[in-house]
Amino acid sequence: MNTIGLNFVDWIIIAIYFAFVLGIGVYLKKFTKNEEDFFLAGRRNSSWVAGLAFLSANLGALELLGMTGNTFKYGMYVAHFYWIGAIPAMLFLGIYMMPFYYSSKIKSIPGYLKLRFDEKTRVLNGIAFGIMTVLVSGINLYAMALVLHTFFGWNWDASMWISAVTVAVYVTLSGLMSAIFTEIIQFFLIWFGLFLVSILGIVEIGSIQEIFSRIPASFNTLWSTSGNPAENGMLIHWGGIVLGLGFVLSFGYWTTDFLVVQRAFSAKDLRTARMTPILASFFKMALPFLVILAGLIALVLANDPNSGFALLKDGSQVNYDSALPLLIARYYPSGLVGLGVTALLAGFMAGQAGNISAFNTVWTYDIYKSVINKKASDAHLLWMGRAATIVGVLISLITAYWAKSFPSIMDYMQAIFSWVNAPLFATMLLGMFVVWITPNGAFWGLVLGMGSSIIMYLAVKFQWVSLSLITMSDVSSDMAANFWRAWWAWLICFSATILISLFTKKKPKEELVGLVKGLTPETIDKDLRLIQKPEFWGIISLIVLIILNIYYW
C-alpha cells in the first residue's frame, strides 16, 4: 500500500508528541513515591482534571475509529452510544453510586465486591475484568498500528510493537498519575486535531442538510424508525436500544468498568468525585458532532463515484475503521497531517494507557494480593504494579491481532461488554440497593450471567441457534445481537441472584454500613449552595440530553 505523504513538519509534530508523553512519565516518576500515588494518583485531583481524564480514558480507538466506522455502517443510530447509551449512566454514577465507591476507600471495583459480598466474588470479577481489559487493550494497539500502517506504510508487526513499547514505558514509570496527565493533553489534541475533518467535509459537500439528504433515509434519524428494525440502519427495535444499550450496556460500562471509574477515585474529595462523571457528560454529548458527522461525510463520499473515496479492504472484507484516517489524508494539507495523525495516536494512547493502568491495579490488589501474596508490602505491590503493566501490554499485543480480524472494532467491543459488564451491573445494582442479597447469591448469579452471555454468543456464531431467537426479530445486525444479549445476560444474573439469595446466608447488617443504601449516613453536600451541588448539574445535563433526542428524533 502506498504511504500517505508526510513532510518534515508532520514528522516533527509527531516526534514532539511522543517525546512529550515519555517526558511526562519520567518527570512524574519522582512524585510516585508509594502505591497510592501509582494506583490512585495520590487522590488529589480537581473535578476538571478528573473529569477530563474520565472522558479521555473513554476516548480511545473505540470512540475515534470505531464510532466513525460504525456510523458509516449503521448511520445516525450510532449517536445512541453517546446520548441514551452514556449520559443517564454517567449521571447515575455521580449522584448515586460514587458515594459508596469513594467513601469506602476501595482501590478498585472488585474491592467493593469483596466488602459487600466476599472474596470469591471479588476474584471472579477481577479475573473477568482482567481478561476483558487486555481484549479491549488490543483494540487500541490495533488502531494505533492501523494509523502507522496507513500513513507511514510500516508493516503491521512493527507498528504494533512501536505502539506497545511507548505505552508500556510511560505507564510503568508513574502509573495512573502519568496516565491522567497525558489523557488531559490528549483530550485537547483530539478535539483540535480532528474537528477540522467535519468542518472541511461540510465545506466540500455543501452543508449539513446536504449531507443528510445524500444518505439513505434509514441512516438519518434517531428514534422515528425504531418501531420497525427493517427501517433503520442498525436493524434494531427501540426495545433493544433502551433495554440493551440505554440500560444494561451503558450502566454496566459507566458504573462498573474500573477503567473509567478509577479516574473519579483520583479526586480530592467526595463532591469532586461525584462531579467528575457529571462534568464529563457535557463533553460526551458534544462528541457526535466530531465523530458521527465524520462517519456520515465518509458515507456520502463513498457513495459518490466521482469522489475517489473508498474504504480499505482486507481481501473481500471492508475495513470500516479506515474511514477516519482516510478522511484525514483527504482533507489535511502537508504540515497539518502530522497534527491529525498525532490526534489519532493520542486517542489510542489514552485508551491503551487507561486499560493498562486499570489492569495493573486489579491484578495487583484483587488477584495477586488477594490470592497469591496476602502479606505483600506496599513497596512490593508498587513493583508488582509495574511488572503487571509490562505483562498486560505483551498480552495486548496478542489480542490486537484478534481485533484486526473483525470488520468493525465496535462490534467486537460491545460483544466483550455483554460478556462481563452486563451481568456485573445486575450484581452491583442489587448489592448497593438491596440489603438482603447474599454473597453466594451474588457469586452464582454472576457466574450464570457471564456464562449465559458467552454461550449465547457462541451459539449464534457457530449457528447452533438462530439470531432471531436472541433479538426477537427476523432482521437484525451484529450490534442488535450485542444489545439483546446484554439484556438477557443482565436479566439472568439479576433473577438468579435474587432467587439464590432467598435460600442462602445473609451478611450481618453491621458489616454493610457504608456499602448499601439505607445503611449509609446521608451527609452528602448538605451545606452546599444549589449551584455547587452535583444534582443541580446532573439535571441540567439531563435536560440537554432530552432536547438533543427530540431535535434529532
CATH of the domain at 256: 1.20.1730.10
Q: b/e string for 276-308 if b means 16 or more Cβ within 10 A?
A: bbbbbbbbbbebbebbbbbbbbbbbbbeeeeee
Give the separation between CA 536 and CA 25, rounded to whole angstroms: 37
pLDDT value at position 61? 54
In this structure, is residue 2 part of a structural domain? no
Residue 135, H or E segment: helix 119-152
Any residues with CB less than 8 A from the CB of 449 and at least 6 apart, and which?
A: 422, 423, 424, 426, 427, 489, 490, 492, 493, 494, 496
Give the separation between CA 330 and CA 143, rounded to whole angstroms: 19
In this structure, is residue 84 part of a structural domain? yes
In this structure, is residue 3 part of a structural domain? no
Which residues are 318's β-sheet partners?
313
Any residues with CB less than 8 A from the CB of 12 and at least 6 apart, and which?
A: 338
pLDDT value at position 440? 94
- Hunting for cell 448515586 — which residue is that? 96
In this structure, is residue 511 part of a structural domain? yes
Are the beta carbons of 136 and 416 closer than 8 angstroms? yes
In the chain, the amino acid numbered 337 is V
In angstroms, the first-to-last Cα distance of the chain is: 41
Domain that holds residue 339: 8-551
pLDDT tens-place values along the chain, 553 residues long? 444 556 777 778 777 777 776 676 666 555 555 444 444 444 555 556 666 667 666 666 557 777 888 888 888 888 898 899 889 998 998 888 787 776 666 666 777 888 889 888 888 888 888 888 888 778 777 877 777 777 777 777 777 787 777 767 766 654 445 555 666 666 676 676 677 888 888 888 888 888 888 888 778 888 888 888 888 777 888 888 888 888 888 888 888 776 677 667 667 777 777 888 888 888 888 888 888 888 899 888 888 888 778 777 766 777 777 788 788 878 877 767 777 777 777 667 666 766 777 777 778 877 788 778 878 777 787 788 778 878 888 888 888 877 777 666 777 777 888 888 889 889 988 988 888 999 999 999 999 999 999 999 888 888 888 877 787 777 777 778 888 888 999 999 999 999 999 999 999 888 888 778 776 665 555 677 777 788 888 899 999 999 988 988 8
Read out DSSP for 315-343?
TTEE-GGGHHHHHHHHHPPTTTHHHHHHH
pLDDT value at position 218? 76
pLDDT value at position 3? 44
**How far apart, in Å, are the Cα atoms of 414 and each of 209, 410, 457, 483, 495?**
31, 6, 11, 8, 23
pLDDT value at position 108? 63
In this structure, is residue 297 part of a structural domain? yes
Which residues are 332's β-sheet partners?
none
How many domains does one find in the chain?
Answer: 1
Q: Which of 331, 351, 353 is nearest to 340 (CA)?
A: 331
pLDDT value at position 2? 41
**Cα of 551 vs its chain's centroid, Å:** 26
**How far apart, in Å, are the Cα atoms of 501 and each of 51, 452, 483, 505?**
37, 19, 27, 7
Q: Which of 118, 163, 114, 117 is nearest to 138 (CA)?
A: 163
In this structure, is residue 1 part of a structural domain? no
Give the separation between CA 171 and CA 177, rounded to whole angstroms: 8
**Cα of 506 vs its chain's centroid, Å:** 34
What is the DSSP secondary structure assignment for residue 314, as one 8-state letter?
E
**What SS3 class is residue 1?**
coil
Give the separation between CA 304 and CA 73, rounded to whole angstroms: 16
Are the beta carbons of 470 and 460 closer than 8 angstroms? yes
Give the separation between CA 455 and CA 42, rounded to whole angstroms: 41
Q: Tell me the torsion sign for CA atoms 486, 491, 494, 497.
A: negative
C-alpha cell at 392: 498486560
In this structure, is residue 36 part of a structural domain? yes
In this structure, is residue 186 part of a structural domain? yes
Give the separation between CA 53 and CA 51, rounded to whole angstroms: 5
Q: Tell me the torsion sign for CA atoms 487, 492, 493, 497.
A: positive
